[in-house]
Structure 1
Amino acid sequence: MPANTPQEAMAEGSTSPRPPLRLLLLNPNTSQQATALMLAVARRVAPPGVSVAACNLPDGEALITEPDSLARAALGVADHAPKLLRGGCDGLIVAGFGDPGLQPLQHAFGQAVTGLGEAGIRAAAEGGRRYAIVTVTRQLHHSLVQAAHLHAPPQLLAGVRYTRGRPQDLVNSPQALSDALLEACDAAVRLDGAESIVIGGGPLAAAADSLSARLSVRVVNPVSAAVRLACARLGASA
C-alpha cells in the first residue's frame, strides 16, 4: 500500500442513520509500521459511527528524534494536512507526539484538528494530577516541555524521563522498548512524584498499554487519548 494512501477502518456496530464521521490519523513520519500500529489502537477506541483511516507523510524521516526533523515534519504537515481536511475527512489527528504543524492547522481549521501530544498531555494532567512524560527522544526535550506548558498548567509537570538506548533500536524491539520505558516510568514515579504518566510517542502506543498493568499510576496511551478528544470535538463519544 502506498505510504500516503489512507488505510480505511470502519467502526463496527454503528446505529447512526447519518454517514460515519471520518477521522484521519496523519503520521508525520514515513514508518508504515508505526502508522498501522496507531491505526489498530484507534480502531479499538473509536465509537460506533466513526470511520477511521490513517496515512503517512509521503516524505520525511522514519522516526522523528531531533529538532531539525521535527521542523521538517511541521512543514510537511502544513503542506499535506489541508488537502486531507478539504478532501472529506471530518477530523484530523496529527499523530506525532511533537504535534508538528498543529497550531497553524488549528488556527485555520479549529476543532477539526487534534494533536497527539496535546491530547496525551491533557489526559495525563486531568483532575490536577502531577504527570510525567516518558519517551525515547531525548533530543526533543525543549519541544516536549513547551508542549507540556502549552496544554496543561506548568506546575503539574513532574518531569520528562527518557529511556536508555538508541530510539530506533528500541522501536525495533518491542520487549526492549517495554523494559526501557518501564525503567523510566518507575523513575518518574519514585523520583519525580508523578501521579500519572503519558507515553510520548505514537510508535510507543502498544507499549503504553502493556505498561498500565505493571505500574501503580495511570498510564496514558496518547493515540487513545487523541481519538477520544477528536471524537468529542466531532460530537461523538469514545
Structure 2
Amino acid sequence: MTLIVINPNASDRVTAGIDAAVAPLRAWGSEIRCLTLPEGPPGIESQQQADLTIAPMLRLAAAQTDATGYVIACFGDPGLHALRDQTDQPVVGIQEAAVMTALTLGQRFGVIAILPASIPRHLRAFGAMGVTNRLAGDRALGLGVADLADADRTVAAMVATGRRLRDDDGADVLIMGCAGMAQYRAHLETECGLPVVEPCQAGVAMALGQIALGLRGKRHVE
C-alpha cells in the first residue's frame, strides 16, 4: 500500500510540513510518500495558479507506478476530477475531505483562508458540494503561503480569525484552509476551544481507509 500525497506548489518547505502532519498516520502500516510539484508556483493563491498546476500534476501522478491511492494536498483540490478520470485508484482532495470530516465534528464549520482571493474558489467548491447551509464563515488571514513560515505572526492571525469565526459567525468546528498551516493546529485548538481539522490529515486518513477497504473509482465501460 503506497499512498502518494502531491503538493501542487513548488515549496519543499510546505511539503515537509505536510509530511510531518501526516506522520502519525504511518502507524497504520502504510507507506505515505509526499511529493512536491516542481512546475508549480511557490504558493497557490488564486484560481489561475491552481488551474495551471493540473497538467503537470497529472503527469507526476502517472509516473508513480506503485501508487495505490492519491491525495491532492492543496485546499481547493485542483485537478481532483481530472485525476479521478486518469486512475481508478482512490483519489482524495484535502478540501473535500476536510469539509466532510468537519461535518462529523460540529454543526457549522468555519474556514481560515490565507488571502481574500482564496475565498471565492472555496465558496464555489462548497456550493458544488451542497454544504453551504453548514458553512458559518470563511475568513482570510491576509497572509500568503510564504508568510505562513513566520510562526508568531501566523499564530496570532489564526487565533484572532478562529475566534471571530467562533464568536461572530457561530462556527463550532474550524478548518485550516491551506496545506501550509499544519504545524499550528494544536495551538489553534487550545486557543479557540474548538475542534480543528487539518486538511492533509483528513485527506490522508480518508484515502487510507478507502485503500484498506478496497474502494476504487468507477471504471469506464467502453
TM-score under structure 1 length normalisation: 0.83
Structure 1, 189-198 or 108-117: larger mean CA deviation: 108-117
Partner of 2:54: 74
Partner of 1:12: none
Q: Which runs of 5+ in 2 are unaligned?
A: 214-222
Partner of 1:220: 197
For residues 69-108 of structure 1, the aligned pairs below 5 Å read 69-84=49-64, 87-108=65-86
CA distance in 2, matches of 1:127, 1:109: 31
SS in 1 for 2:111: strand
User: In the alignment, is the contact (CA less than 8 A) between 1:121 and 1:151 conserved in 2?
Assistant: no
Cα deviations across residues 35-79 of structure 1 (Å, max 9, x unaligned)? Answer: 011011111123332011111112121111122111112232233
Aligned-pair CA distance for 1:108: 3.5
Partner of 1:211: 188
Aligned-pair CA distance for 1:110: 4.3
Aligned-pair CA distance for 1:147: 1.9
SS in 2 for 1:106: helix
CA distance in 2, matches of 1:152, 1:199: 20
Aligned partner of 1:194 among 162, 166, 171? 171
SS in 2 for 1:167: coil
Aligned-pair CA distance for 1:169: 5.5
For residues 1-238 of structure 1, the aligned pairs below 5 Å read 21-84=1-64, 87-110=65-88, 112-126=90-104, 129-151=107-129, 153-164=131-142, 166-168=143-145, 170-235=147-212
SS in 2 for 1:70: helix
Give aligned pairs, total. 213
CA distance in 2, matches of 1:229, 1:112: 9
Structure 1, 151-160 or 196-205: larger mean CA deviation: 151-160
Cα deviations across residues 119-166 of structure 1 (Å, max 9, x unaligned)? Answer: 1111112266210111213212221112223345221011101113x4
SS in 1 for 2:104: helix
Q: C-alpha root-mean-square deviation of aligned residues, in Å?
A: 1.7
Q: Which runs of 5+ in 1 are unaligned?
A: 1-20
User: In the alignment, is the contact (CA less than 8 A) between 2:69 and 2:91 conserved in 1?
Assistant: yes
Cα deviations across residues 191-231 of structure 1 (Å, max 9, x unaligned)? Answer: 11111110011111111232111112211111111111011
SS in 1 for 2:120: helix
SS in 2 for 1:133: strand
Superposed structure 1 runs of 4+ greater than 6 Å apart: none
Which of structures 1 and 2 has the larger relative contact order (alpha carbons within 8 angstroms, sep 6+)? 2
SS in 2 for 1:234: helix
Aligned-pair CA distance for 1:175: 1.6
CA distance in 2, matches of 1:127, 1:116: 16
User: In the alignment, is the contact (CA less than 8 A) between 2:109 and 2:135 conserved in 1?
Assistant: yes
Query: Percentage identity across aligned positions?
Result: 23
CA distance in 2, matches of 1:111, 1:89: 8
